[in-house]
Structure 1
Amino acid sequence: MAKQSSSNAGRAAEILILLGQAGRRGMALAALAEATDEAKSSVHRTLVALADHGLVVQSGNRGNYRLGAGTYALALRSPGLNEIVASYRPALIEITASTQLSTYLMARSGLETVCLDYQNGQIAAQPYVSGIGGRIPLGVGVSGSCILAQMDARSRERCLSLNKDTLADWGIPLSLIEEEVESFKLHGFVRGIRRSAGIESLTLTVPLVDDDLRGMEAAISLMAPLNMLDEAAEQKAVATMQAAIAEARRQAEIAPRAEGSQVVRAPF
Protein backbone atom coordinates (compact mmCIF):
# COMPACT_ATOMS: atom_id res chain seq x y z
CA MET A 1 0.00 0.00 0.00
CA ALA A 2 1.33 3.43 -0.91
CA LYS A 3 2.06 5.54 2.12
CA GLN A 4 -0.77 8.04 2.61
CA SER A 5 -0.05 9.65 5.97
CA SER A 6 2.56 9.56 8.71
CA SER A 7 0.06 10.56 11.38
CA ASN A 8 -1.08 8.07 14.02
CA ALA A 9 -4.62 8.19 12.68
CA GLY A 10 -3.47 7.68 9.10
CA ARG A 11 -1.24 4.77 10.10
CA ALA A 12 -4.11 3.16 12.03
CA ALA A 13 -6.41 3.53 9.02
CA GLU A 14 -3.87 1.93 6.70
CA ILE A 15 -3.38 -0.98 9.09
CA LEU A 16 -7.12 -1.62 9.42
CA ILE A 17 -7.52 -1.58 5.64
CA LEU A 18 -4.61 -4.01 5.20
CA LEU A 19 -5.97 -6.38 7.84
CA GLY A 20 -9.40 -6.22 6.24
CA GLN A 21 -7.88 -7.28 2.93
CA ALA A 22 -5.84 -10.04 4.61
CA GLY A 23 -8.96 -11.73 5.99
CA ARG A 24 -8.76 -14.61 8.47
CA ARG A 25 -5.07 -15.31 7.96
CA GLY A 26 -4.09 -11.80 9.11
CA MET A 27 -0.66 -10.24 8.75
CA ALA A 28 2.57 -10.31 10.72
CA LEU A 29 4.10 -7.19 12.24
CA ALA A 30 6.96 -7.24 9.73
CA ALA A 31 4.57 -7.49 6.80
CA LEU A 32 2.46 -4.60 8.09
CA ALA A 33 5.56 -2.46 8.60
CA GLU A 34 6.72 -3.18 5.06
CA ALA A 35 3.29 -2.54 3.54
CA THR A 36 2.90 0.78 5.34
CA ASP A 37 6.53 1.81 4.92
CA GLU A 38 6.75 2.45 8.65
CA ALA A 39 9.16 1.35 11.37
CA LYS A 40 8.14 -1.81 13.23
CA SER A 41 8.13 0.10 16.51
CA SER A 42 5.64 2.66 15.17
CA VAL A 43 3.38 0.00 13.69
CA HIS A 44 3.55 -2.00 16.93
CA ARG A 45 2.49 1.01 19.02
CA THR A 46 -0.50 1.55 16.73
CA LEU A 47 -1.43 -2.14 16.88
CA VAL A 48 -1.33 -2.06 20.66
CA ALA A 49 -3.64 0.98 20.69
CA LEU A 50 -6.03 -0.71 18.25
CA ALA A 51 -5.97 -3.90 20.30
CA ASP A 52 -6.78 -1.98 23.49
CA HIS A 53 -10.08 -1.02 21.88
CA GLY A 54 -10.87 -4.43 20.43
CA LEU A 55 -10.25 -3.35 16.84
CA VAL A 56 -7.31 -5.72 16.34
CA VAL A 57 -6.41 -9.13 17.82
CA GLN A 58 -3.19 -11.16 17.69
CA SER A 59 -2.88 -14.93 17.44
CA GLY A 60 -0.57 -15.83 20.35
CA ASN A 61 2.47 -13.86 21.47
CA ARG A 62 4.09 -13.62 18.03
CA GLY A 63 1.24 -14.57 15.72
CA ASN A 64 -0.40 -12.62 12.95
CA TYR A 65 -2.71 -9.69 13.59
CA ARG A 66 -6.35 -9.75 12.45
CA LEU A 67 -9.33 -7.45 12.69
CA GLY A 68 -11.04 -7.71 16.08
CA ALA A 69 -14.68 -8.00 17.00
CA GLY A 70 -14.78 -4.29 17.81
CA THR A 71 -14.31 -3.44 14.13
CA TYR A 72 -17.21 -5.66 13.13
CA ALA A 73 -19.39 -4.24 15.88
CA LEU A 74 -18.68 -0.67 14.80
CA ALA A 75 -19.43 -1.43 11.17
CA LEU A 76 -22.75 -3.10 11.94
CA ARG A 77 -23.76 -1.10 14.97
CA SER A 78 -27.53 -0.87 15.28
CA PRO A 79 -29.12 2.27 16.70
CA GLY A 80 -30.75 2.17 20.11
CA LEU A 81 -34.50 1.82 20.30
CA ASN A 82 -34.83 5.36 21.60
CA GLU A 83 -33.06 6.64 18.48
CA ILE A 84 -35.41 4.71 16.19
CA VAL A 85 -38.52 5.90 18.00
CA ALA A 86 -37.31 9.51 18.08
CA SER A 87 -36.50 9.39 14.36
CA TYR A 88 -39.77 7.85 13.18
CA ARG A 89 -42.38 9.10 15.64
CA PRO A 90 -42.91 12.18 13.42
CA ALA A 91 -43.75 9.79 10.56
CA LEU A 92 -46.39 8.03 12.69
CA ILE A 93 -47.89 11.38 13.66
CA GLU A 94 -47.97 12.56 10.04
CA ILE A 95 -49.51 9.35 8.70
CA THR A 96 -52.20 9.23 11.39
CA ALA A 97 -53.01 12.93 10.94
CA SER A 98 -53.36 12.45 7.18
CA THR A 99 -55.40 9.24 7.25
CA GLN A 100 -57.12 9.33 10.66
CA LEU A 101 -56.00 5.70 11.03
CA SER A 102 -53.84 4.14 13.73
CA THR A 103 -50.17 3.50 12.92
CA TYR A 104 -47.61 1.22 14.54
CA LEU A 105 -43.82 1.12 14.52
CA MET A 106 -42.88 -2.55 14.60
CA ALA A 107 -39.48 -4.29 14.78
CA ARG A 108 -38.22 -7.85 14.90
CA SER A 109 -37.11 -9.23 18.26
CA GLY A 110 -35.96 -12.79 17.74
CA LEU A 111 -38.98 -14.78 16.56
CA GLU A 112 -41.43 -12.03 17.48
CA THR A 113 -42.45 -8.59 16.32
CA VAL A 114 -42.61 -5.94 19.01
CA CYS A 115 -44.39 -2.59 18.98
CA LEU A 116 -41.93 0.24 19.59
CA ASP A 117 -44.39 3.12 19.19
CA TYR A 118 -47.90 3.86 17.96
CA GLN A 119 -50.38 6.63 17.25
CA ASN A 120 -54.11 6.15 17.80
CA GLY A 121 -56.33 7.25 14.94
CA GLN A 122 -59.89 8.48 15.10
CA ILE A 123 -61.03 5.51 12.99
CA ALA A 124 -60.54 2.34 15.01
CA ALA A 125 -59.44 -1.11 13.86
CA GLN A 126 -58.69 -4.16 15.99
CA PRO A 127 -54.92 -4.66 16.46
CA TYR A 128 -53.10 -7.70 17.80
CA VAL A 129 -50.90 -5.60 20.10
CA SER A 130 -52.29 -3.41 22.88
CA GLY A 131 -49.58 -0.76 22.73
CA ILE A 132 -45.89 -0.12 23.17
CA GLY A 133 -44.09 -3.30 24.14
CA GLY A 134 -46.81 -5.55 22.76
CA ARG A 135 -45.43 -8.71 21.12
CA ILE A 136 -46.76 -11.21 18.61
CA PRO A 137 -45.05 -14.14 16.86
CA LEU A 138 -43.22 -13.15 13.68
CA GLY A 139 -45.66 -13.56 10.80
CA VAL A 140 -48.88 -13.42 12.79
CA GLY A 141 -49.30 -9.75 11.92
CA VAL A 142 -48.84 -8.24 8.47
CA SER A 143 -45.87 -6.28 9.79
CA GLY A 144 -44.19 -9.63 10.40
CA SER A 145 -44.51 -10.54 6.71
CA CYS A 146 -42.94 -7.21 5.75
CA ILE A 147 -40.09 -7.79 8.19
CA LEU A 148 -39.58 -11.37 6.98
CA ALA A 149 -39.46 -10.09 3.41
CA GLN A 150 -36.52 -7.85 4.32
CA MET A 151 -34.46 -10.80 5.55
CA ASP A 152 -32.23 -13.02 3.42
CA ALA A 153 -33.92 -16.21 2.23
CA ARG A 154 -32.11 -18.59 4.59
CA SER A 155 -32.84 -16.51 7.68
CA ARG A 156 -36.47 -16.10 6.65
CA GLU A 157 -36.92 -19.82 6.08
CA ARG A 158 -35.35 -20.60 9.44
CA CYS A 159 -37.63 -18.17 11.27
CA LEU A 160 -40.71 -19.63 9.58
CA SER A 161 -39.57 -23.16 10.36
CA LEU A 162 -39.11 -22.35 14.04
CA ASN A 163 -42.45 -20.51 14.18
CA LYS A 164 -44.39 -23.09 12.18
CA ASP A 165 -46.30 -24.58 15.09
CA THR A 166 -46.93 -21.18 16.68
CA LEU A 167 -48.31 -19.79 13.44
CA ALA A 168 -50.60 -22.79 13.13
CA ASP A 169 -51.91 -22.13 16.65
CA TRP A 170 -52.78 -18.59 15.53
CA GLY A 171 -54.46 -19.87 12.36
CA ILE A 172 -51.90 -18.26 10.02
CA PRO A 173 -50.94 -20.56 7.13
CA LEU A 174 -47.37 -20.40 5.86
CA SER A 175 -48.71 -20.03 2.33
CA LEU A 176 -50.31 -16.69 3.30
CA ILE A 177 -47.02 -15.32 4.60
CA GLU A 178 -45.18 -16.57 1.52
CA GLU A 179 -47.73 -14.80 -0.71
CA GLU A 180 -47.26 -11.57 1.23
CA VAL A 181 -43.47 -11.86 0.99
CA GLU A 182 -43.72 -12.27 -2.80
CA SER A 183 -46.09 -9.31 -2.99
CA PHE A 184 -43.57 -7.22 -1.09
CA LYS A 185 -40.89 -8.09 -3.64
CA LEU A 186 -43.17 -6.81 -6.41
CA HIS A 187 -44.66 -3.73 -4.78
CA GLY A 188 -42.32 -2.70 -1.96
CA PHE A 189 -45.02 -2.92 0.73
CA VAL A 190 -47.38 -5.54 2.15
CA ARG A 191 -51.18 -5.51 2.08
CA GLY A 192 -52.83 -8.08 4.30
CA ILE A 193 -56.01 -8.97 6.16
CA ARG A 194 -56.00 -10.44 9.66
CA ARG A 195 -58.68 -11.39 12.18
CA SER A 196 -58.23 -10.25 15.78
CA ALA A 197 -60.88 -10.68 18.48
CA GLY A 198 -63.25 -11.87 15.77
CA ILE A 199 -62.86 -8.68 13.72
CA GLU A 200 -61.13 -8.55 10.33
CA SER A 201 -58.98 -5.53 9.54
CA LEU A 202 -56.84 -4.37 6.66
CA THR A 203 -53.17 -3.64 7.33
CA LEU A 204 -50.77 -1.81 5.03
CA THR A 205 -47.11 -2.13 6.01
CA VAL A 206 -44.14 -0.21 4.61
CA PRO A 207 -40.54 -1.13 5.50
CA LEU A 208 -38.05 1.23 7.12
CA VAL A 209 -35.24 1.11 4.57
CA ASP A 210 -32.48 2.99 6.35
CA ASP A 211 -28.71 2.46 6.34
CA ASP A 212 -28.71 3.40 10.02
CA LEU A 213 -30.91 0.38 10.77
CA ARG A 214 -28.35 -2.21 9.74
CA GLY A 215 -28.90 -5.33 11.78
CA MET A 216 -32.51 -4.46 12.54
CA GLU A 217 -35.66 -5.13 10.52
CA ALA A 218 -38.47 -2.66 11.15
CA ALA A 219 -41.63 -1.40 9.49
CA ILE A 220 -44.57 0.96 9.94
CA SER A 221 -48.09 -0.44 9.73
CA LEU A 222 -51.41 1.32 9.19
CA MET A 223 -54.66 -0.40 10.19
CA ALA A 224 -58.10 0.22 8.73
CA PRO A 225 -61.51 -1.43 9.13
CA LEU A 226 -62.03 -3.98 6.38
CA ASN A 227 -63.57 -2.57 3.16
CA MET A 228 -63.16 1.02 4.32
CA LEU A 229 -60.52 1.85 1.70
CA ASP A 230 -60.91 1.26 -2.02
CA GLU A 231 -57.87 0.54 -4.21
CA ALA A 232 -57.19 4.22 -4.90
CA ALA A 233 -57.41 5.09 -1.21
CA GLU A 234 -55.03 2.25 -0.35
CA GLN A 235 -52.49 3.47 -2.89
CA LYS A 236 -52.81 7.01 -1.53
CA ALA A 237 -52.28 5.75 2.02
CA VAL A 238 -49.15 3.83 1.00
CA ALA A 239 -47.79 6.90 -0.78
CA THR A 240 -48.47 8.97 2.35
CA MET A 241 -46.62 6.42 4.47
CA GLN A 242 -43.63 6.29 2.14
CA ALA A 243 -43.39 10.08 1.96
CA ALA A 244 -43.64 10.48 5.75
CA ILE A 245 -40.97 7.83 6.32
CA ALA A 246 -38.64 9.45 3.77
CA GLU A 247 -39.10 12.88 5.36
CA ALA A 248 -38.51 11.51 8.88
CA ARG A 249 -35.31 9.85 7.67
CA ARG A 250 -34.20 13.07 5.97
CA GLN A 251 -34.82 15.12 9.10
CA ALA A 252 -32.94 12.59 11.22
CA GLU A 253 -29.95 12.82 8.89
CA ILE A 254 -29.72 16.61 9.03
CA ALA A 255 -30.44 16.91 12.76
CA PRO A 256 -27.43 17.88 14.89
CA ARG A 257 -26.04 14.51 15.94
CA ALA A 258 -23.80 15.96 18.61
CA GLU A 259 -26.57 17.77 20.48
CA GLY A 260 -26.37 16.93 24.16
CA SER A 261 -23.55 14.44 23.63
CA GLN A 262 -19.99 14.39 24.94
CA VAL A 263 -16.91 14.51 22.77
CA VAL A 264 -15.28 11.10 22.48
CA ARG A 265 -11.52 11.22 22.06
CA ALA A 266 -9.84 9.03 19.48
CA PRO A 267 -7.55 6.36 20.94
CA PHE A 268 -4.57 7.27 18.76
Structure 2
Amino acid sequence: MRRAVRVLQALADADGGVGVSELGRGLGIGKASVFRLLRTLAELGLVQQDSETRLYRLGPGLIPLGQAASEAIDLRSAARPAMERLTSGTGMPTYLNVPGSRDVVCLEHVRSLSQIDLYGQAGHTMPYHACPSGLVLLAFGPSDRLERALSLGLSRYGRNTIVSRRALRAALADVRSHGYAFGTDDLEDGVTSVAAPICDHHGDVVGALGLAGFSHMFESRRESLIAAVEQAAAEVSTGHRRPAATRLARVAG
Protein backbone atom coordinates (compact mmCIF):
# COMPACT_ATOMS: atom_id res chain seq x y z
CA MET A 1 0.00 0.00 0.00
CA ARG A 2 2.76 2.44 0.92
CA ARG A 3 4.57 1.78 -2.36
CA ALA A 4 1.39 2.31 -4.37
CA VAL A 5 0.83 5.66 -2.69
CA ARG A 6 4.43 6.67 -3.42
CA VAL A 7 3.92 5.81 -7.08
CA LEU A 8 0.80 7.98 -7.23
CA GLN A 9 2.61 10.83 -5.51
CA ALA A 10 5.50 10.57 -7.98
CA LEU A 11 3.11 10.71 -10.93
CA ALA A 12 1.34 13.70 -9.39
CA ASP A 13 4.67 15.54 -9.06
CA ALA A 14 5.73 14.80 -12.64
CA ASP A 15 5.14 17.39 -15.36
CA GLY A 16 4.23 14.75 -17.92
CA GLY A 17 4.19 11.00 -18.19
CA VAL A 18 6.78 8.84 -16.45
CA GLY A 19 8.24 5.52 -17.52
CA VAL A 20 8.64 2.39 -15.43
CA SER A 21 12.43 2.64 -15.23
CA GLU A 22 12.37 6.31 -14.24
CA LEU A 23 9.80 5.64 -11.53
CA GLY A 24 11.84 2.77 -10.18
CA ARG A 25 15.02 4.82 -9.99
CA GLY A 26 13.30 7.78 -8.38
CA LEU A 27 11.56 5.67 -5.76
CA GLY A 28 14.29 3.13 -5.18
CA ILE A 29 11.98 0.28 -6.17
CA GLY A 30 12.80 -2.52 -8.57
CA LYS A 31 11.47 -2.24 -12.10
CA ALA A 32 9.45 -5.46 -11.82
CA SER A 33 7.79 -4.27 -8.61
CA VAL A 34 6.96 -0.89 -10.14
CA PHE A 35 5.43 -2.59 -13.16
CA ARG A 36 3.21 -4.77 -10.96
CA LEU A 37 2.09 -1.75 -8.96
CA LEU A 38 1.29 0.21 -12.11
CA ARG A 39 -0.64 -2.69 -13.58
CA THR A 40 -2.80 -2.95 -10.45
CA LEU A 41 -3.34 0.81 -10.29
CA ALA A 42 -4.26 0.84 -13.98
CA GLU A 43 -6.86 -1.89 -13.43
CA LEU A 44 -8.42 0.37 -10.80
CA GLY A 45 -8.35 3.36 -13.13
CA LEU A 46 -5.96 5.24 -10.85
CA VAL A 47 -3.21 5.46 -13.49
CA GLN A 48 -3.23 5.21 -17.26
CA GLN A 49 -0.60 4.53 -19.89
CA ASP A 50 -0.17 6.52 -23.08
CA SER A 51 -0.49 4.05 -25.94
CA GLU A 52 2.18 5.83 -28.02
CA THR A 53 4.81 6.95 -25.51
CA ARG A 54 4.16 4.06 -23.06
CA LEU A 55 4.52 6.57 -20.23
CA TYR A 56 2.25 6.53 -17.19
CA ARG A 57 0.23 9.35 -15.68
CA LEU A 58 -2.59 9.69 -13.17
CA GLY A 59 -5.89 8.15 -14.26
CA PRO A 60 -9.52 9.33 -14.23
CA GLY A 61 -10.36 7.01 -11.35
CA LEU A 62 -8.76 9.51 -9.00
CA ILE A 63 -11.24 12.25 -9.90
CA PRO A 64 -14.22 10.98 -7.83
CA LEU A 65 -11.86 10.22 -4.95
CA GLY A 66 -10.57 13.77 -5.03
CA GLN A 67 -14.07 15.16 -5.25
CA ALA A 68 -15.20 13.07 -2.28
CA ALA A 69 -12.21 14.19 -0.23
CA SER A 70 -12.85 17.82 -1.16
CA GLU A 71 -16.51 17.55 -0.18
CA ALA A 72 -15.57 16.00 3.16
CA ILE A 73 -13.13 18.81 3.88
CA ASP A 74 -15.68 21.43 2.82
CA LEU A 75 -18.36 19.85 5.01
CA ARG A 76 -16.02 19.75 7.96
CA SER A 77 -15.06 23.39 7.53
CA ALA A 78 -18.68 24.44 7.12
CA ALA A 79 -19.79 22.51 10.18
CA ARG A 80 -17.14 23.51 12.69
CA PRO A 81 -18.44 27.02 13.56
CA ALA A 82 -22.02 25.83 14.03
CA MET A 83 -20.82 22.88 16.11
CA GLU A 84 -18.79 25.15 18.37
CA ARG A 85 -21.80 27.41 18.90
CA LEU A 86 -24.01 24.41 19.63
CA THR A 87 -21.59 23.00 22.17
CA SER A 88 -21.10 26.41 23.78
CA GLY A 89 -24.84 26.96 24.05
CA THR A 90 -25.75 23.51 25.37
CA GLY A 91 -22.67 22.41 27.30
CA MET A 92 -22.68 19.11 25.41
CA PRO A 93 -20.34 17.61 22.82
CA THR A 94 -21.38 17.74 19.18
CA TYR A 95 -20.58 15.33 16.38
CA LEU A 96 -20.53 15.59 12.60
CA ASN A 97 -21.27 12.12 11.28
CA VAL A 98 -21.19 10.85 7.70
CA PRO A 99 -22.11 7.52 6.08
CA GLY A 100 -19.45 4.82 5.87
CA SER A 101 -19.64 1.50 4.05
CA ARG A 102 -20.44 -0.45 7.22
CA ASP A 103 -20.93 2.10 9.99
CA VAL A 104 -21.51 5.76 10.69
CA VAL A 105 -18.19 7.64 10.73
CA CYS A 106 -17.50 10.66 12.93
CA LEU A 107 -15.92 13.28 10.69
CA GLU A 108 -15.62 16.05 13.29
CA HIS A 109 -16.11 16.38 17.04
CA VAL A 110 -16.32 19.35 19.40
CA ARG A 111 -15.78 18.66 23.07
CA SER A 112 -17.81 20.36 25.77
CA LEU A 113 -16.16 22.66 28.30
CA SER A 114 -16.67 19.97 30.93
CA GLN A 115 -14.74 17.56 28.68
CA ILE A 116 -17.67 15.18 28.33
CA ASP A 117 -16.59 12.83 25.56
CA LEU A 118 -19.23 10.18 25.05
CA TYR A 119 -18.72 8.85 21.54
CA GLY A 120 -15.00 9.28 20.92
CA GLN A 121 -12.99 11.43 18.56
CA ALA A 122 -13.13 12.03 14.82
CA GLY A 123 -12.71 8.71 13.04
CA HIS A 124 -14.82 6.85 15.58
CA THR A 125 -17.50 4.60 14.08
CA MET A 126 -20.98 3.64 15.27
CA PRO A 127 -23.51 1.11 13.97
CA TYR A 128 -26.26 2.66 11.88
CA HIS A 129 -29.14 1.13 13.79
CA ALA A 130 -27.89 2.06 17.26
CA CYS A 131 -27.57 5.84 17.15
CA PRO A 132 -29.71 8.80 16.03
CA SER A 133 -27.17 9.92 13.43
CA GLY A 134 -27.30 6.45 11.90
CA LEU A 135 -31.09 6.53 11.81
CA VAL A 136 -31.00 9.89 10.05
CA LEU A 137 -28.55 8.59 7.44
CA LEU A 138 -30.65 5.47 6.90
CA ALA A 139 -33.96 7.35 6.78
CA PHE A 140 -32.83 9.83 4.15
CA GLY A 141 -30.22 7.70 2.41
CA PRO A 142 -30.30 5.23 -0.48
CA SER A 143 -32.11 1.93 0.00
CA ASP A 144 -28.93 -0.11 -0.43
CA ARG A 145 -27.49 1.54 2.69
CA LEU A 146 -30.39 0.20 4.73
CA GLU A 147 -30.10 -3.24 3.16
CA ARG A 148 -26.40 -3.28 3.98
CA ALA A 149 -27.10 -2.36 7.60
CA LEU A 150 -29.72 -5.09 7.85
CA SER A 151 -27.37 -7.67 6.37
CA LEU A 152 -24.82 -6.94 9.11
CA GLY A 153 -27.36 -7.75 11.81
CA LEU A 154 -28.96 -5.60 14.48
CA SER A 155 -26.82 -6.25 17.54
CA ARG A 156 -27.79 -4.87 20.95
CA TYR A 157 -25.62 -2.21 22.60
CA GLY A 158 -27.94 -0.55 25.12
CA ARG A 159 -31.32 -1.23 26.73
CA ASN A 160 -33.19 0.45 23.89
CA THR A 161 -31.13 -0.60 20.89
CA ILE A 162 -33.34 -1.40 17.91
CA VAL A 163 -32.86 -5.11 17.27
CA SER A 164 -35.70 -6.03 14.91
CA ARG A 165 -36.23 -5.13 11.28
CA ARG A 166 -39.82 -4.13 11.91
CA ALA A 167 -38.83 -1.77 14.71
CA LEU A 168 -36.07 -0.26 12.60
CA ARG A 169 -38.37 0.44 9.68
CA ALA A 170 -40.90 2.02 12.05
CA ALA A 171 -38.18 4.18 13.59
CA LEU A 172 -37.02 5.35 10.17
CA ALA A 173 -40.58 6.30 9.23
CA ASP A 174 -40.73 8.34 12.44
CA VAL A 175 -37.46 10.08 11.58
CA ARG A 176 -38.76 10.99 8.12
CA SER A 177 -41.95 12.35 9.68
CA HIS A 178 -40.24 14.51 12.30
CA GLY A 179 -37.07 15.41 10.43
CA TYR A 180 -34.74 14.36 13.25
CA ALA A 181 -33.85 11.32 15.36
CA PHE A 182 -33.82 11.08 19.16
CA GLY A 183 -32.55 8.17 21.21
CA THR A 184 -31.95 7.16 24.81
CA ASP A 185 -30.02 4.07 25.93
CA ASP A 186 -29.58 2.95 22.34
CA LEU A 187 -25.81 2.90 21.91
CA GLU A 188 -24.94 3.18 25.58
CA ASP A 189 -27.11 3.06 28.70
CA GLY A 190 -27.47 6.40 30.43
CA VAL A 191 -26.73 8.40 27.29
CA THR A 192 -29.20 10.35 25.15
CA SER A 193 -28.55 11.93 21.79
CA VAL A 194 -30.35 13.77 19.02
CA ALA A 195 -29.36 14.19 15.37
CA ALA A 196 -30.63 16.16 12.39
CA PRO A 197 -29.79 15.83 8.69
CA ILE A 198 -27.30 17.99 6.81
CA CYS A 199 -28.07 18.60 3.13
CA ASP A 200 -25.88 19.64 0.23
CA HIS A 201 -26.88 22.19 -2.40
CA HIS A 202 -28.88 19.52 -4.23
CA GLY A 203 -30.95 18.84 -1.13
CA ASP A 204 -29.42 15.39 -0.63
CA VAL A 205 -28.55 14.35 2.91
CA VAL A 206 -24.77 14.04 3.18
CA GLY A 207 -24.33 13.90 6.94
CA ALA A 208 -25.91 14.21 10.34
CA LEU A 209 -25.22 16.67 13.13
CA GLY A 210 -25.51 15.05 16.54
CA LEU A 211 -25.58 16.25 20.14
CA ALA A 212 -25.02 13.81 23.01
CA GLY A 213 -25.14 13.95 26.78
CA PHE A 214 -26.03 12.04 29.88
CA SER A 215 -29.75 11.34 29.87
CA HIS A 216 -30.54 13.53 32.88
CA MET A 217 -29.21 16.53 30.92
CA PHE A 218 -32.12 16.18 28.48
CA GLU A 219 -34.92 15.74 31.00
CA SER A 220 -36.02 19.36 31.37
CA ARG A 221 -34.99 20.72 27.98
CA ARG A 222 -35.56 18.04 25.40
CA GLU A 223 -37.51 20.24 23.00
CA SER A 224 -35.08 23.17 23.17
CA LEU A 225 -32.13 20.86 22.54
CA ILE A 226 -33.84 19.28 19.55
CA ALA A 227 -34.56 22.74 18.15
CA ALA A 228 -30.94 23.80 18.69
CA VAL A 229 -29.64 20.77 16.79
CA GLU A 230 -32.07 21.33 13.93
CA GLN A 231 -31.03 24.96 13.69
CA ALA A 232 -27.33 24.08 13.70
CA ALA A 233 -27.84 21.42 11.02
CA ALA A 234 -29.72 23.94 8.88
CA GLU A 235 -26.83 26.38 9.21
CA VAL A 236 -24.36 23.75 8.04
CA SER A 237 -26.44 22.61 5.10
CA THR A 238 -25.13 24.16 1.92
CA GLY A 239 -27.17 25.92 -0.70
CA HIS A 240 -30.68 27.27 -0.33
CA ARG A 241 -33.01 25.72 2.21
CA ARG A 242 -35.78 25.38 -0.35
CA PRO A 243 -34.18 22.54 -2.41
CA ALA A 244 -33.08 20.81 0.78
CA ALA A 245 -36.57 20.98 2.22
CA THR A 246 -37.99 19.75 -1.07
CA ARG A 247 -35.70 16.73 -1.06
CA LEU A 248 -36.55 15.84 2.54
CA ALA A 249 -40.23 16.19 1.84
CA ARG A 250 -39.90 13.97 -1.22
CA VAL A 251 -38.11 11.25 0.76
CA ALA A 252 -40.59 11.51 3.61
CA GLY A 253 -43.49 11.16 1.22
Q: TM-score, normalised by structure 1?
A: 0.55
Contact 1:202/1:224 (8 A) holds in 2? yes
Q: What residue in structure 2 maps to residue 84 of structure 1?
A: 75
Report the more deviating stretch, 233-242 or 183-192.
Answer: 233-242
Computing the radius of gyration from Cα coordinates, the structure with the larger value is 1
- 1:207 corresponds to 2:197: yes
Q: What residue in structure 1 maps to residue 120 of structure 2?
A: 130
Q: Secondary structure at the match of 1:115?
A: strand
Contact 1:142/1:194 (8 A) holds in 2? no
Q: What residue in structure 2 maps to residue 168 of structure 1?
A: 155
Q: Deviations over 1:149-184 (max 9, x none)?
A: 1124x32441232221xx326464134433331221
Match 1:102 to one of 93, 118, 126:
93
Distance across 2 between alignment mates of 1:202 and 1:169:
16
Relative to structure 1, the CA distance from residue 144 to residue 248 in structure 2 (aligned partners, 3 Å threshold; closer, same or farther) is: closer
Distance across 1 between alignment mates of 2:103 and 2:199:
19
TM-superposed deviation, 1:185: 1.5
Match 1:234 to one of 208, 215, 222:
222
Q: Secondary structure at the match of 2:195?
A: strand
Unpaired runs of 5+ residues, structure 2, are: 1-59, 241-253
Question: Which amino acid in structure 2 is aligned with residue 242 of structure 1?
Answer: E
- 1:224 corresponds to 2:213: yes
Q: What residue in structure 2 maps to residue 243 of structure 1?
A: 231
Distance across 1 between alignment mates of 2:194 and 2:74:
24
Question: Which amino acid in structure 1 is aligned with residue 101 of structure 2?
Answer: G
TM-superposed deviation, 1:132: 0.7
Mapping 1:16-165, distance limit 5 Å:
78=68, 79-122=70-113, 127=118, 129-152=119-142, 154-164=143-153
TM-superposed deviation, 1:240: 1.6
Match 1:182 to one of 173, 184, 196:
173
Distance across 1 between alignment mates of 2:185 and 2:170:
14
Q: Deviations over 1:11-51 (max 9, x none)?
A: xxxxxxxxxxxxxxxxxxxxxxxxxxxxxxxxxxxxxxxxx
Mapping 1:251-266, distance limit 5 Å:
none
Q: TM-score, normalised by structure 2?
A: 0.58
Contact 2:157/2:186 (8 A) holds in 1? no
Contact 1:125/1:201 (8 A) holds in 2? no
Relative to structure 1, the CA distance from residue 142 to residue 194 in structure 2 (aligned partners, 3 Å threshold; closer, same or farther) is: farther
Distance across 2 between alignment mates of 1:242 and 1:213:
15
Relative to structure 1, the CA distance from residue 124 to residue 195 in structure 2 (aligned partners, 3 Å threshold; closer, same or farther) is: farther
Relative to structure 1, the CA distance from residue 247 to residue 136 in structure 2 (aligned partners, 3 Å threshold; closer, same or farther) is: closer
TM-superposed deviation, 1:224: 1.8
Distance across 1 between alignment mates of 2:232 and 2:146:
31
Unpaired runs of 5+ residues, structure 1, are: 1-69, 254-268
Q: What residue in structure 1 maps to residue 37 of structure 2?
A: none
TM-superposed deviation, 1:219: 0.1
Contact 1:103/1:221 (8 A) holds in 2? yes
Q: RMSD between aligned alpha carbons?
A: 2.9
Which protein has greater RCO, CA pairs closer than 8 Å, 6+ apart?
A: 1
Report % sequence identity.
Answer: 19
Distance across 2 between alignment mates of 1:148 and 1:163:
14
